[in-house]
Structure 1
Amino acid sequence: MEMTLQLTIDCADPRGMVAFWTEALAYVPEPPPGGQATWRQYWLDTGVPEEELPEGAGETSESIVDPAGTGPRVWFQCVPEAKSVKNRLHLDLKVGGGRGVPLAVRTQRVTDTVDRLTGAGATVFRVMDEPGMDYYGVVLQDPEGNEFCVC
């Protein structure tokens, strides 16, 4: 049996999340299949009833994909409620290079990525920089408050 992996992130603004996470992951918005103009048209053509599609759903991409085809698809599912507690699952963006890379180099790589992502709308939540540890990482929050790590 074939299986694929999709990450689904609940959110209030799929368009905003697509914009942020394409920058964060170097992904691209997923085009609608079969040459359809929009995802909404694709869903309607596959038999999804109009009344099941919220207003505006599928007019722009609500999912992103790895252009290399190796990473999982990420779908941003519009939900009415706001995030209220800590994530039970989060993403780690591993940019440092691992312990074989000097700590100063890893720290700079993390810092450069954090600067880029805060410029795209993320906020710093916590810095993981304990004295005496050969580790540096930063916990960020995306524009809707979902935590993720850059390490």
Structure 2
Amino acid sequence: MPTTFQLTIDCADPGPLVAFWSRALGYEPEAPPAGFPSWRAYWLSIGVPEEELGEGDCADSLVDPDGRGPRVWFQQVPEGKTVKNRLHLDLRVSGGREVPLETRRARVEAEVARLEAAGAECADVLAEPGQDHFAAMLRDPEGNEFCVC
């Protein structure tokens, strides 16, 4: 049986990342466990100290509404991001190598524009003349790198 996993992303403030990544991935904020009006109430009930919970009462995790993809948890940490990610997401929107390069390029550019409108910043375009590849490297609202390809 395969092992299930969640993707955990350290951050300063889960709220903006939950909003951004829900739009980017088509995921939904995860509802609190049954019997709890909020995630804050749940975390307090299992003994997480209030000072570790930060401000607000928003969801800090996302789930795939179709149940296929992994859960994504935004773990609030005190330190900021300082170096390049060692792990990043590739958002695959182009359709793959069977699709003509110009069509793939247009799809990637459209997704980059949509994500920039949601708060991402385009950091680099990955395209070399003569190469059958087009992608873009972006940063989410806290500077975490990811690619659109």
Distance 2:54 2:89 in 1: 30
Displacement of 1:49 in angstroms is 4.4
Partner of 2:148: 150
**Partner of 1:34: helix, strand, or coil?**
coil
Q: Is the 8 A contact 2:44 2:50 kept in 1?
A: no
State the AA in 2 paired with 1:77: Q
Distance 1:147 1:49 in 2: 30
Distance 2:32 2:91 in 1: 27
State the AA in 1 paired with 2:134: Y
Partner of 2:55: 56
Q: Is the 8 A contact 2:40 2:53 kept in 1?
A: no
- 4+ aligned runs moved over 3 Å, structure 1: 49-53
Displacement of 1:11 in angstroms is 0.7
- Give the structure-1-normalised TM-score: 0.92
**Partner of 2:34: helix, strand, or coil?**
helix
State the AA in 1 paired with 2:78: P
Instruction: State percent identity of aligned pairs.
Output: 58
Q: Does 1:30 align with 2:30?
A: yes
Displacement of 1:13 in angstroms is 1.2
Distance 2:139 2:48 in 1: 35
Q: Deviations over 1:41-100 (max 9, x none)?
A: 12233x32445643436x110000100000000000111111110000000000001000
Distance 1:82 1:49 in 2: 21
Q: Does 1:7 align with 2:4?
A: no
Distance 2:113 2:121 in 1: 10
- Give the structure-2-normalised TM-score: 0.93
Partner of 2:89: 91
State the AA in 2 paired with 1:56: E
Equivalent of residue 65 in structure 2, options 41, 64, 67: 67
